[in-house]
Chain A
Amino acid sequence: MDDPKPKPKAARKPSAAPPKPKAPKAPRKPRPKRPAASAEADTRSEALLEELEHRLDAIIGDHKLEPAVAPPPTPPPPTPPPPPDSTTVFDTARDMLTSDFYLRRWGRLAMRSRSEEVDDFGYDPTYDKRIKPFFDFLYERYFRVECRGISNVPRHGRCMLVANHSGTIPFDGPMLKTAVKREQPSVGRDVRWLAEDFVFHFPFLGSFESRIGAVRACQENAERLLRQEALVAVFPEGTKGIGKLFRDRYKLQRFGRGGFIRLALRTQTPIVPVAIVGAEETNPMLFRVESFSKLLGVPYVPVTPTFPLLGPLGLMPAPTKWKIVFGEPLDLGDYGPESENDEMLVSRLAETVRQSIQGLLDAAVRERKSVLFG
């Protein structure tokens, strides 16, 4: 079987072989030893055997032929499918008639803006890159963000940015992320901000937010992020923060139950207070309607000067001038991880952080001359 040369010959022979015996082949060797009992029967069976052998050779030869003949570049030209390199307009046309073509196109188009792998929390780098120009535009042109004290954000290691939360449609998370990314271009850290639960109830909003880096706010998620040495932004005011009325702007609401302090103590994470000024005027909320909030799955329905009046367009943020101020980091390393159970300490630290953010906010608001022009 090693030599494929004789096989093609055998293959070309007619399947009905002549009864004349050829040169004896290996499998037929033992036969002559036996004395011929009846010569006629013997020749007939011999012929039959030969024919079978030939047929077998032909079958094997056919199979052997393919790999043996394939390497030389002389494929039989009359085969119906032409070589793949010479695609004509007809091939394309024929290809376009198959449903596979459209499925392939669809798949390619759809995967274009997605990475094949996301991180634990669904952050998608490719998608983020595609959406980045939009946030850059908001940062640079629309809100004209001015960033101060970026050196207070550590360049590596876990850290918690604690900021005031505002804006009926909160843009502060993405803007904080853009700020850190742009102002520390050599480091390029990704801020992961913790978003309220109700975001993830919503169609589109939840999947969009998690693709660009939001994470549902809960202790387990935050702890996992910090243990991965991430830069985590938290808004302890939570829903109360984004639901602030216009008259309450820049007045920090209650800081939850101090969960972020307990988390920082447990994971030994430094805290950087952050004040975001300007965001609280993007959608000045005059009233909150809470009566059909249950129906819509939102914490409240905002009433702004533009919102129900102009429809969804009314939710567009006003182009206020923003300022993001990073305060001095607060190191909790002096307290051990077990001090998270010390409730007095937790509430005292929470109040300290709240005060420092309020201080940053007040200072920045005081020196501002105009809401729209800074």
Chain B
Amino acid sequence: MADDKSPRSAPPAGGPLVQAPGAATRRRAQRRVVALTGASSFVGQNLLGLLEEDEHIERVVVVDVKPPPGAGKKTRFYEVDLTQPTAEARLSELFAAEGASCLVHLAFYNSPSHASAYAHELESVGTMHLLVAARQARVQKLVMSSLTLLYGAHPSNPNFLGEHQPLRATRREPFFRDKIEAEAEAARFGERSDGAVVTVLRTAPIVGPTVKSFLTRYLSRRVVPTMMGFDPLLQFVHEVDAIAAFKLAVDRDVPGTFNIVGDGVLPLSTVIKLAGRVALPIPHPIAQPLGSLGWLAQLLPAPPTFVPYLRFLCVADGVRARDIMGFRPAYTTREALVDFVSAQRLRDVKLLEEA
């Protein structure tokens, strides 16, 4: 455990984790209005808290289908369903009326869903509606979340994938396809609205004591299926770091795509051992049918299209986020995992209630 890092703070505090890089910073003097979608998601919920505390932010406009948990005084909630065709007009009116200068788009599933049709409507079509509205209302800044998983796990990947690499995750999987389409929408938004700052943060799988996702469910099982003879290197980012990265992207105008990852990598076998689980190696030729069955029976947290991630590398390079954005993760991959595991162990023996 490296103790020479900057002081670690409790989850909703991104402040001390970041240092000003200087050049890329253009802080706006006046108090801003930030629009936020996906405020009920893990990152959204925590980011909302951070935005509430920030004195440079006048108001947080939350667009969602249900009121965000833990909304404070600055938050103004509007019930808009992004999947509806009427959402566009409503959103553009709303953004203009509120004078939103920054849009944070986090309305994405962090785990594959069985309701893939709705997920498509929300992630792909919903992003289109949202960004068309934002362009009409002349929103000058977009921060969107994405995943490093979208690079896809291939044996031909370099060990560290840069942001310029194509998104090669399989399009057969709606979870990836919708997000790739959403990224394309964000790129289109950047092209068509001149001068707008578009920041896309591709986060590595987020782990930590409170976050829930398909990955934490996978690592919570006593027996964890793996692919026989394959031991890919994995990379995680701690939940605190991920939240801090989004706050940083809201605070600074840094156009571009950034990989938000923790330092270091761990082989899957070590991850499973640190988590105190037992690996169940499955020969990869039968993983596909078994995985389909398990997914259909809802026994597995992810469909068989995730099998390549248990075989091949999908590790992103965070150097660009460090150099340009000034993002310094406080937790390494290993520390993030250990933090997750310590909470998970308590959950295992029912000492920690689900929040």
User: Which of A202, A211, A215 interacts with B159 by CB under 8 Å?
Assistant: A215
Whole-angstrom distance between the alpha carbons of A326 and B228 in the complex? 39
Closest to A224 in B: B160
Measured between beta carbons, the chain B residues less than 8 angstroms from A218 are 156, 158
Measured between beta carbons, the chain B residues less than 8 angstroms from A224 are 159-160
Asked whether B233 is an interface residue with its Cβ less than 8 Å from the other chain, the reply is yes
Whole-angstrom distance between the alpha carbons of A148 and B270 in the complex? 39
Interface residues of B in 199-239 (CB under 8 A from A): 227-231, 233
Whole-angstrom distance between the alpha carbons of A8 and B158 in the complex? 68
Asked whether A114 is an interface residue with its Cβ less than 8 Å from the other chain, the reply is yes
Whole-angstrom distance between the alpha carbons of A201 and B312 in the complex? 8
B270/A114 in contact, CB under 8 A: yes
Measured between beta carbons, the chain B residues less than 8 angstroms from A107 are 273, 276
B273/A204 in contact, CB under 8 A: no
* Chain B facing A: main interface SS: loop
Whole-angstrom distance between the alpha carbons of A117 and B230 in the complex? 18
B229/A207 in contact, CB under 8 A: yes
Asked whether B284 is an interface residue with its Cβ less than 8 Å from the other chain, the reply is yes
User: Which of A197, A204, A207, A219 interacts with B267 by CB under 8 Å?
Assistant: A207
B284/A118 in contact, CB under 8 A: no
Whole-angstrom distance between the alpha carbons of A156 and B79 in the complex? 63
Measured between beta carbons, the chain B residues less than 8 angstroms from A103 are 276, 278
Interface size class of B (residues with CB under 8 A): 20 to 34
Closest to B270 in A: A114
Interface string of A91-126 (1 = CB under 8 A from B): 000000000000100110011001011101110100
Whole-angstrom distance between the alpha carbons of A197 and B266 in the complex? 21
Measured between beta carbons, the chain A residues less than 8 angstroms from B270 are 111, 114, 116, 118
Evaluate whether A118 and B269 lie within 8 angstroms (CB atoms) in the complex, with A203-B284, A224-B159, A224-B160 already known: no
Whole-angstrom distance between the alpha carbons of A247 and B266 in the complex? 43
Closest to B275 in A: A107
A116/B229 in contact, CB under 8 A: no
Count of A-B contacts judged by CB separation below 8 Å: 75
Interface string of B148-162 (1 = CB under 8 A from A): 000000011011101
Evaluate whether A118 and B159 lie within 8 angstroms (CB atoms) in the complex, with A203-B227, A203-B228 already known: no
Measured between beta carbons, the chain A residues less than 8 angstroms from B312 are 200
Interface string of B267-299 (1 = CB under 8 A from A): 101100110101000011000000000000000
Interface string of A211-231 (1 = CB under 8 A from B): 100011011110010000000
What is the distance, in angstroms, from B238's C-beta to the closest C-beta of chain A?
Answer: 16
Whole-angstrom distance between the alpha carbons of A117 and B338 in the complex? 12
Whole-angstrom distance between the alpha carbons of A279 and B98 in the complex? 73
Chain B interface residues toward A at CB < 8 A: 155-156, 158-160, 162, 227-231, 233, 264-267, 269-270, 273-274, 276, 278, 283-284, 312, 334
Chain A interface residues toward B at CB < 8 A: 103, 106-107, 110-111, 114, 116-118, 120-122, 124, 197, 200-207, 210-211, 215-216, 218-221, 224
A-B contact pairs, 22 of them (CB 8 A): A103-B278, A110-B269, A117-B264, A117-B266, A117-B334, A118-B266, A120-B160, A121-B159, A121-B233, A122-B233, A124-B267, A200-B312, A203-B228, A203-B230, A203-B283, A203-B284, A207-B230, A211-B267, A215-B159, A218-B156, A220-B160, A221-B160
